[in-house]
Structure 1
């Protein structure tokens, strides 16, 4: 994967070939059109969950409709984790129910990490993906050109050598 700063093809400071520019533009459009629109909850959320959901959407403008499921599940998990954490805080340290709640909180913690990881395709990551897609497209074009040029031309020296063999 590409390293360093990634920017859109229109904001590139280095020079690139016309083929590479065209491939990058196509790849960026493909990545942009994946899940056009803003995320919407995919299940019913209560008022508090909806507030958290809207806050996440407003904080990251690279979220799109394709992120709706992961974002909704993240918000649900965060909300339930907070409820369980508050319940743990209200219980006595020696209460038998506390261990079960801690296990549930740990489960939600793992779910939060998974949903956060699935949302980690930030704008930079999406541009990297477009850049990698463009590189693949360029390599495919190069391979196609190489296959097209396989028609071997007759080497004039070999023709003379062959002609001399037949003369003897």
Structure 2
């Protein structure tokens, strides 16, 4: 699989062949179709969580219906992390309950990071998948053209030469 930064065909800085450009554009369009539509919460959210969810959707236009689960879980984890963090702030520094809440906050912090990573992976993965699909399409075209060359008609002069040998 390709490593490094992956860009859409429109944002490429390097030159590519016309066939590769067409194949990449076609592959990107196929990959975009996978999750058509706006993300929708996959579980019930309270008003505050729904506001956060809608804010994330409006901030990133690359989110689609396929990102609904990860986005919903991210919002839930963020909301719970915030609630616990506020509770920690309200407790006295020497309160015994504080340590348990800090552990819970740490758990939600990890969950937020995981769900955030899950949301950032899809766009990159989609572009990589489109890139790989385009490479396969270009290779298939090359193979098809090589096979077409092999099926070339017999040279008429060679045919006459072979006919003369038979006689």
Give the TM-score of the pair, scaled to structure 1: 0.75
Distance 1:20 1:88, change over 3 A: same
Instruction: Provide the C-alpha distance between the structure 1 equivalents of 2:48 and 2:127, rounded to a whole number of angstroms.
Output: 33
> Which residue in the other structure is 1:81 paired with?
81
> Which residue in the other structure is 1:134 paired with?
134
Instruction: Provide the C-alpha distance between the structure 2 equivalents of 1:58 and 1:122, rounded to a whole number of angstroms.
Output: 17
Range that drifts further, 119-128 or 106-115: 119-128
- The Cα RMSD (Å) is 2.8
> Which residue in the other structure is 1:45 paired with?
45
**Structure 2, unpaired ranges of 5+:** 152-167
Instruction: Provide the C-alpha distance between the structure 1 equivalents of 2:138 and 2:85, rounded to a whole number of angstroms.
Output: 52
Instruction: Work out whether residues 6 and 128 of structure 2, in 8 Å CA contact, stay in contact via their aligned partners in 1.
Output: no
Q: For each residue in 1:127-158, what CA deviation from the matched residue of structure 2 results, as whole angstroms up to 9, or x when unmatched? A: 3442232123323444566678789xxxxxxx
> Which residue in the other structure is 1:157 paired with?
none
> Which residue in the other structure is 1:6 paired with?
7
Give the TM-score of the pair, scaled to structure 2: 0.76
Distance 1:109 1:147, change over 3 A: farther
Q: SS state of the match for residue 116, structure 2?
A: helix
The yes-or-no answer on 1:60 pairing with 2:94 is: no
Paired residues, what number?
151
Q: For each residue in 1:27-70, what CA deviation from the matched residue of structure 2 results, as whole angstroms up to 9, or x when unmatched? A: 11111101100000000000000000000000000100000000
Q: SS state of the match for residue 45, structure 2?
A: coil
The 4+ residue runs of structure 1 with deviation greater than 4 A are: 2-5, 11-15, 122-125, 143-151
Q: SS state of the match for residue 119, structure 1?
A: helix
Range that drifts further, 105-114 or 135-144: 135-144
